[in-house]
Structure 1
Amino acid sequence: MTIASMYAEFGIREARGISPTYERLSLAVSGDEEILALLDTVPAAKRQPNLLLGVVRFLGGPVDDPAAFHDFTVANWPAIEAGLRTRITQTNEAGRCALLLPVLASLPQPLALLEVGTAAGLGLHPDRYCYRYGGHLLGSSGPVLDCALTGAAPPTRLPEVAWRAGLDLNPLDITNPADLAWLEALIWPEHSYRRDRLRAAAVIAAAHPPMLIRGDLTEELLPLAAQAPAGATLVVFHSSVLYQVPEAHRAAFVDLVRELPGHWIAVEAPDVLTYEGLPPPPDQALHNVLALDGTPLAWTRAHGQAMAWFA
């Protein structure tokens, strides 16, 4: 895939109907030869739209007008390039817990949660959020996570969590203003509800800080999993993480996680973790696949806003 087609696909399949600002901007970048040439100077993994747009916003650049975005990006390319090379997309979206909850609630309790690609650990608190699946509300405190669920009944209980830990190459400190600002820069411009949700989840994570370990997902997975308490069901999970991992390294991780006791929940794009016999997705938008122990269960949207169960 060319850089231009990557930005065009992002605009059409990911941003359309969700962020008019990012749809307009990514389509403009797909035809902007000067910005495309600049992006061609950084490693392929650092060219992705969410990363570029997040870095520009983090630096205070404009995203409402493609011409102003072009001028800012060209004029400030050294700082933007440095941000691209040193940062990764760490969209720590608490809303994705709404995708995990139906599976988490079905497993033997209590749970020992281990999140791979945890960022600031906001995904490690599924028991401390509220959930709304249509007219069904679950929970009594924390931000409300809305998810349009089809094909299955909504869960009826919150999980009981006995232990929680996260693994990341660059774990973030939710109490650090710069780290919080980076997470906010990754939220799409129109999504004020997601910014509010991030701040509410940040308060919870700051009050109940989980154990966050800096390390590689293959080197540190087994030692960290070994710390889970006896008597708790180990659940290793990740969401929109493995696309940033080289294919061979990704395969090594999958081999490792399959060897662990307990369960493995993955929410990844179907070209990142492949499954045979997937039904067609609900529409042409980009969907991830929710899977338990390698068995696909549902199509999901990127920020946890919808889930179509097919298992």
Structure 2
Amino acid sequence: MSIAGDYANFAARELRGVSPVYERLAFAVSADDELLDLLGTLPPAKRQPNLLFGVVRLLGGPVEDPAAFHDFTVTHWSAVDAELRVRATQTNEAGRCAVLLPLLAALPQPLALLEVGASAGLCLYPDRYAYRYGDRRLGAGEPVLECAADGPVPPTRLPEVVWRAGLDSNPLDVTDPADVAWLDALIWPEHAHRRERLRAAAAVAAAEPPLLVRGDLVEDLPALAAQAPAGATLVVFHTSVLYQVPRRRRDAFVDLVRGLPGHWISNEAPDVLPYGGLPDPPDAGLHNVLALDGTPLAWSRGHGQSMLWFG
């Protein structure tokens, strides 16, 4: 797909009804020849809308008005280009724990969690947050993660986590204001609740920082997994991460993780981790497929705001 097509598709599938500001902006960029030409000078992985919009916000640029966004980005292209080349979309959305929780709570306890693409590790604390599924609340912590769940009864207990570790090519530090500023810049403009959630989750992680390892998801995963304590169920998981990994490397990771002890939870778009015979998604929006050990079980939205069970 062309760069223009990527931006238009992003607007229609991910932003419609979720972020009107970014929907308008993504459609504008898809028709902006000057910006498209500039984006064309970047490596393909650095052209994505979330990355561009986050970098402009980090640099203090406007995103509410497409014309002002155009002028700022063109005028400050050298700075925007430099940031795009060294940054990655590391949206560390703690809300995704709400769709992981039913699987985590059902596995043999206690758990040793290992997140691939962990960013700052905020999704490594599913036992510390509280949850609301409709009118049912679980847990007493903060933040409270809300999820519209259609399917099985929500879990009645939180998982018991005795070890938590993350693997990332560029791990972020929740005690570093610059890293937290980048996480904040990646949150969509209207989503004040997600900014509050980021601050609350970052406080949880900062109080007991996880083990975060800089490394490759294939080369360095076995050694990190081997550090999990005996007697705990190892759970390797990832959510909205593998789209950034080339297909051949992605296939190598899948082969590797299937051979590890314990369990594997994936939460990725269906074109990233394909499955045969999936039912239709609930609507035209972009949904992830939540799967356990390679078996697809539910559709989920990217920030953990809803899930629809079919498995």
- TM-score where L is the length of structure 2: 1.00
Match of 1:19 in 2: 19
- CA–CA distance in 2 between the matches of 1:9 and 1:274? 19
Match of 2:35 in 1: 35
- CA–CA distance in 1 between the matches of 2:274 and 2:20? 30
**How much does 1:151 deviate?**
1.7
**How much does 1:164 deviate?**
0.4
Q: Deviations over 1:79-113 (max 9, x none)?
A: 11111110000000000000100000000000000
Match of 1:72 in 2: 72
Q: Deviations over 1:165-221 (max 9, x none)?
A: 000000001010100000000000000000000000000000010100000001110
**How much does 1:4 deviate?**
0.3
Q: Secondary structure at the match of 1:41?
A: coil
Q: Secondary structure at the match of 1:128?
A: coil
**How much does 1:43 deviate?**
0.4
**How much does 1:141 deviate?**
1.2
**How much does 1:227 deviate?**
0.3
CA-based RMSD of the aligned residues comes to 0.4
Match of 2:92 in 1: 92
- CA–CA distance in 1 between the matches of 2:216 and 2:180? 22
Q: Which runs of 4+ in 1 moved over 3 A?
A: none
- CA–CA distance in 1 between the matches of 2:244 and 2:52? 15
Does residue 62 (structure 1) correspond to residue 42 (structure 2)? The answer is no
Match of 1:51 in 2: 51
- CA–CA distance in 1 between the matches of 2:62 and 2:95? 26
Gaps of 5+ in 2: none
Q: Secondary structure at the match of 1:199?
A: helix
Q: Secondary structure at the match of 1:205?
A: helix
- CA–CA distance in 2 between the matches of 1:276 and 1:153? 26
Matches within 5 A, 1:291-310: 291-310=291-310
Matches within 5 A, 1:88-237: 88-237=88-237
Match of 1:265 in 2: 265
Q: Secondary structure at the match of 1:156?
A: coil
Count residues in correspondence.
311
**How much does 1:163 deviate?**
0.4
Q: Secondary structure at the match of 1:265?
A: strand
- CA–CA distance in 1 between the matches of 2:141 and 2:124? 16
- CA–CA distance in 1 between the matches of 2:99 and 2:37? 38
One-letter amino acid of the counterpart of residue 250, structure 2 = R
Q: Secondary structure at the match of 1:183?
A: helix
Q: Secondary structure at the match of 2:132?
A: strand
- CA–CA distance in 2 between the matches of 1:183 and 1:133? 26
**How much does 1:152 deviate?**
1.6
One-letter amino acid of the counterpart of residue 265, structure 1 = I
- CA–CA distance in 2 between the matches of 1:103 and 1:84? 35
**How much does 1:153 deviate?**
1.1
One-letter amino acid of the counterpart of residue 43, structure 1 = P
One-letter amino acid of the counterpart of residue 116, structure 1 = V
- CA–CA distance in 1 between the matches of 2:115 and 2:91? 14
Q: Secondary structure at the match of 1:182?
A: helix
**How much does 1:39 deviate?**
0.2
- CA–CA distance in 1 between the matches of 2:142 and 2:115? 20
- TM-score where L is the length of structure 1: 1.00
- CA–CA distance in 2 between the matches of 1:82 and 1:119? 20
Report sequence identity in percent. 73
Match of 1:251 in 2: 251
One-letter amino acid of the counterpart of residue 259, structure 2 = E
One-letter amino acid of the counterpart of residue 273, structure 1 = L
One-letter amino acid of the counterpart of residue 303, structure 1 = H
Q: Secondary structure at the match of 1:290?
A: strand
Does residue 242 (structure 1) correspond to residue 242 (structure 2)? The answer is yes
Gaps of 5+ in 1: none
- CA–CA distance in 2 between the matches of 1:253 and 1:59? 35
